[in-house]
Structure 1
């Protein structure tokens, strides 16, 4: 990180912050690791409360933070562990709705500045949807500041009663560009998923109803007659796995479910086109990685996606399998259009906040909330 300085203004002792993570989605966990590294470099003391398996993947200790294992449940033992970890903190920063709710319970009765980042929108209907709205209200009203990763999330936080909601700069570390990678690495990634001699289309995310995978399978049925038929690879796990797999087999669709992978960045970089058919997204990790890696993106025009990608992707209506299929077929047949999207993607990615800018913005919020107030 550049502009490193010890963060102890007015001769005060270093700021002590606690970052709280719940289940540890890719977006929130990557953000917290980047944030922890930048804050530590600036002299801030950082504790990360997260499940042990999240720390094993993201290695918060490796960037100078103290990791405290806290399970993702809201049972009393987890809240007690969180309460102990937050003792003596100058500020607590929770990431995601459920982590923020647990942190609010742990901070009950304490007047500690409380920052919440909403990375995505929780979706549910019926009784569970009602419960989520109650949680959102509780969290929004308890937070000193809510940082939303898209304009829609900022508006949502305000509608739930947030006193102060702002658009957050959230950077993902830019993955290596494909030209930094030798061709053999790309060929190896493609061969491993069975995409030798045919176009590779990549989608990533939990196998649930909000991801638009049913629409994606409908689109794959349309383009399976191409020669060669593009192969769709979907990385992720979730409740729809068995029903999606059944459709793939019954309809002989050129689609592979490859489960959770630790080489997502490499697979995206090896793809001909990245696909994002979700019904809702904020700052999509897949979209950011695709544009950074100069991979053309076809995405549903929902929520934060147009704001994030600008004119650097093919946007189609959500749930429209024909529009999705047509956009993909058109791109695969038009190398000039693909090249144009790659160049636009590089320009668009350059407008996103850097990791340094992200840390600086968060630190400015922390300063605002922890500076001693002048006497009247």
Structure 2
């Protein structure tokens, strides 16, 4: 029986944990909500320190955690609030580089174990890249255990000086799929009509409109699809600093691409797609890749970071930055219904092998137990 259980052996009280989030990506915030739910169900006390907007979006208090609003900042007031929240914790678990740095600063002088999960890595160049390396080193050395969501993140933590770095079991809560979407061949008339994709292939991607997403390469590839009949439509859901640049290219070059901004119905958009696209320069456990395979949507992705480790042979993988390879792979898939069906089936099998939410909580609890075995008996 786990020491973290509400009926823990040797008279130990329930474990008191603090989960620290910064800005919180969809992957890390969803993981913290899932983890909090599983920990609370097992009798663990969970406090989530996160910005107010993260609580509004993910509802940590709705699964039994105590939410303490702490801005994503290293100013003295924010660190003081974080230190107060962590003051009586048996263990602190920070998610992401900036959250981990703030947790390490807040815990300065305390002997509270610090677990850090690296869900992704910062994309930086020049002087900022040097600063990121310094921050990563500071965090890796401060952590009792670093959990990386892909093997290359584990290796990165070790290179930065982590005493103990391990591959994390991180589940993605399976999105609800309406009954009308159970048949992957069935189209979704309302969504397709809204997007302007009625009677034409729909290619779907999701992510912040920033440089590392590779959307410039995607626009390059879309030029090759203009010769197809019917003409595929590329839909990009998300916002970011490159919106104006991308929109200008789309208009000037008359590309078959639509920027639809942030959407609350991404799961429905993805379920309506013929092909999902992931064109990033680096990914760990891509939420889009996981959702595509769960939804039985064929995926074309760049062969970077942890993507191959995540999807195996259940996706078409292409080199990053190669617009021609991306374009050819999409054209082949659109022309090959048998290959699309095969990828759907492979995707279902691949997704079945990913960690479940229970398995994720179990692994985290085992780490917590290792680090808190010396807790006093009452």
Structure 1 length-normalised TM: 0.96
| Structural mapping, 1:127-206, within 5 Å | 127-177=127-177, 181=181, 186-206=188-208
Check 1:326–1:7 CA distance in 2 against 1; reply closer, same or farther (3 A cut): farther
* 1:153-172 Cα distance to aligned partner (Å, 9 max, x none): 00000000000000000000
Are the counterparts in 1 of residues 5 and 44 from structure 2 also a CA contact under 8 Å? no
Check 1:185–1:109 CA distance in 2 against 1; reply closer, same or farther (3 A cut): farther
Check 1:7–1:73 CA distance in 2 against 1; reply closer, same or farther (3 A cut): farther
| Structural mapping, 1:312-323, within 5 Å | 312-323=314-325
Q: Tell me what 2:335 maps to.
A: 333
| Structural mapping, 1:48-67, within 5 Å | 48-67=48-67
Matched residue SS, 1:226 = coil
* Alignment partners' CA distance in 1, 2:212 and 2:134: 21
Matched residue SS, 2:260 = strand
Are the counterparts in 2 of residues 178 and 294 from structure 1 also a CA contact under 8 Å? no
Q: Tell me what 2:281 maps to.
A: 279
Aligned length: 371
Check 1:7–1:145 CA distance in 2 against 1; reply closer, same or farther (3 A cut): farther
Matched residue SS, 2:188 = helix
* Alignment partners' CA distance in 1, 2:12 and 2:195: 55
Q: Please report the RMSD computed on the Cα atoms of aligned residues, expressed in angstroms.
A: 1.6
* 1:330-364 Cα distance to aligned partner (Å, 9 max, x none): 10111100000000000000110000000000000
Q: CA deviation at 1:8?
A: 2.8
Q: CA deviation at 1:300?
A: 0.5
Q: Tell me what 2:35 maps to.
A: 35
Q: CA deviation at 1:196?
A: 1.4
* Alignment partners' CA distance in 2, 1:139 and 1:149: 16
Q: Tell me what 2:246 maps to.
A: 244
* 1:87-138 Cα distance to aligned partner (Å, 9 max, x none): 1000000000001001111001100010000000111111111110000000
| Structural mapping, 1:208-227, within 5 Å | 208-227=210-229
* Alignment partners' CA distance in 1, 2:171 and 2:119: 12
Are the counterparts in 2 of residues 152 and 303 from structure 1 also a CA contact under 8 Å? yes
Check 1:178–1:160 CA distance in 2 against 1; reply closer, same or farther (3 A cut): same
Deviating beyond 6 angstroms after TM superposition, the runs of 4 or more aligned structure 1 residues are: 182-185
Q: Tell me what 1:120 maps to.
A: 120
Q: CA deviation at 1:239?
A: 1.1
Check 1:291–1:61 CA distance in 2 against 1; reply closer, same or farther (3 A cut): same
Structure 2 length-normalised TM: 0.95
Are the counterparts in 2 of residues 20 and 48 from structure 1 also a CA contact under 8 Å? yes
Q: CA deviation at 1:225?
A: 2.0
Q: Which sections of structure 2, spanning at least 5 residues, go unmatched?
A: none
Asked if 1:254 corresponds to 2:270, the answer is: no
* Alignment partners' CA distance in 1, 2:313 and 2:117: 27
Are the counterparts in 2 of residues 7 and 44 from structure 1 also a CA contact under 8 Å? no
